[in-house]
Copies of this chain bind each other. A is one copy, B any other.
């Protein structure tokens, strides 16, 4: 599938559902055999059960995604979002700089999510 508007609408819904803390809305965007690599370079989670566990946990942490630029499509079935994740870290407020690359099936469901962020993309807010 190559419906740029549908991919971007799904990415927008992903952000809104995540920020609403609604794991079931987030999970509903994924195909049943989807994979998640978050962050890129760590073991892949695969399938509905692992995806549900991942977002079931992630949406209880009070994290908030702040989009930093418009989503990008492609000339194929993939699209990206670039955002900050604001979190209440163990040492106070923090954020992580992230770019997600998502692939979609012909029904507009996410089949692959890869989250690009490295150890030094985690920023602890400086004390003031």
Interface residues of A (CB under 8 A from B): 2, 4-5, 39-42, 68-70, 72-80, 82, 97-99, 101, 116-121
Query: For residue A116, which residues in chain B have a CB less than 8 angstroms away from its CB?
Result: 72-74, 78-80, 101
Q: Measured between C-beta atoms, what is the minimum distance from A103 to chain B in Å?
A: 10
Partner of A4, one of B4, B69, B101, B118: B118
Per the bound structure, the CA–CA distance linking A5 and B121 in Å amounts to 11
Q: Measured between C-beta atoms, what is the minimum distance from A81 to chain B in Å?
A: 9
| 5 more A-B residue pairs beyond the given contacts A4-B120, A40-B76, with a C-beta to C-beta distance below 8 A | A2-B41, A5-B120, A72-B97, A72-B118, A73-B120
Copies in the complex: 2
B121 A97 Cβ-Cβ under 8 A: no
CB-nearest residue of chain B to A76: B41
Query: For residue A119, which residues in chain B have a CB less than 8 angstroms away from its CB?
Result: 4, 73, 75
Interface centre among A40, A42, A72, A82 (most CB of B within 10 A): A72
Per the bound structure, the CA–CA distance linking A79 and B101 in Å amounts to 12
Per the bound structure, the CA–CA distance linking A119 and B101 in Å amounts to 17
